[in-house]
Structure 1
């Protein structure tokens, strides 16, 4: 059975090739989406060609709902998006994938049901399909080459869904077992360098020494140092001093 009910259903309308259905399933499962609905696949269903392209996401194919038309595929939903790159001459709100998936997340949080429709590979959704949607998703692609294949469009919307549902870290640091240096460690490093640089006559002329030391302190505080980095920098300076003394 499909997993978390609080996710949109992705509806593939009249997909043409089994391979593309499999690739779309893989793209969906990459982002934790497992509610696939198929409307009148050209080559029938099930389609053995889809399994190889699904590459580990075969469960989505096994559990995909098959529908004869768009109306039955989205009939249980109260917010339906249609993906298209072409002007349709229809009066509907047009969302970017990012804003559409935010709206989807909000509606699902309120207990609603959401569907996102994707058209056939060659020409996309027909106007009659789009007319059954509440809103349009338009990907900001190069206007001179707006064509996306089915799996690419599914992947884009899946990624934005993942972002909208709060499951993507905007940034993280891979420390590989290290720890960030503490303030006192950085302070001791700054003192070590100030001492040795003072002995070397770096802070010259004297009336600029305080400003130069402040600049160095600011430099150390801006650097994202680990404890290992601090030990390495201490070691570098000690070795340079030893080399100078031997010379």
Structure 2
């Protein structure tokens, strides 16, 4: 699915543009548009902070908001300050879910981010379809531009599955596997003289089993745990031989 456009209005610091481009690249957003960047474009500081983000390859630079919004059917304005306007106010999570649905219906949305010093002008907020605001602490609500971009970028991809690069966890251990583990562990503990006094053996066994069951072992973990028990038992046997010698 085509991602929304992220539009930075009069960004001041190249470092923030670069950080925004970097995190957009991390979460699969590729459409970055700049409106009248203070220090011009291209910007060496932005390139340095972006550390090779593919987003920088196709940055669009315009000097008027209308031109930067070309091809878009919806605009969402980010702001931390109430503007006294009759506007729908959404969290990034709600907004990105709405944008996803709009894109599936054939629309194209953009998200406006204001300049570091003053945020978005009221006229741009007034023209937006909705406001996006983050649930920040009202005693310290001012967010860095790139941080705001990062929160929205994350929410765009938050509903997707974990990358296939990560190996799947093996299947849960069966009750038969767990029972064999219990027997193995208890037999070695018995040989080591762990169950003392003898009359408390049933209680100690139950406590051990309860603790292990709470672990919700996988098949692989059962094999690893039994291998550890075997290694300890062999090590104890070798130590006994050395002492006897």
CA contact (8 A) 2:77 2:131 kept: yes
Distance 2:114 2:184 in 1: 66
Q: Normalising by structure 2, report the TM-score.
A: 0.80
Distance 2:185 2:17 in 1: 62
Q: Report the counterpart of residue 163 of structure 1 in structure 2.
A: 158
Name structure 1 gaps, 5 residues minimum.
none
Q: Report the counterpart of residue 191 of structure 1 in structure 2.
A: 183
1:230 pairs with 2:223? no
Give the counterpart of 1:202 among 195, 198, 222: 195
1:40 pairs with 2:33? no
Q: Report the counterpart of residue 120 of structure 2 in structure 1.
A: 125
* Alpha carbons of structure 1 residues 181 and 143: separation in structure 2 relative to 1, 3 Å: closer
Distance 1:167 1:180 in 2: 19
Give the counterpart of 1:7 among 3, 7, 12: 3
Q: Report the counterpart of residue 107 of structure 1 in structure 2.
A: 102
> Number of aligned pairs?
235
Note the C-alpha offset of 1:197. Answer: 4.7
CA contact (8 A) 2:78 2:132 kept: yes
CA contact (8 A) 2:181 2:222 kept: no
Distance 2:115 2:234 in 1: 68
* Alpha carbons of structure 1 residues 99 and 21: separation in structure 2 relative to 1, 3 Å: same
* Alpha carbons of structure 1 residues 244 and 102: separation in structure 2 relative to 1, 3 Å: farther
Residues 145-154 or 229-238, more deviating: 229-238
CA contact (8 A) 1:38 1:64 kept: yes
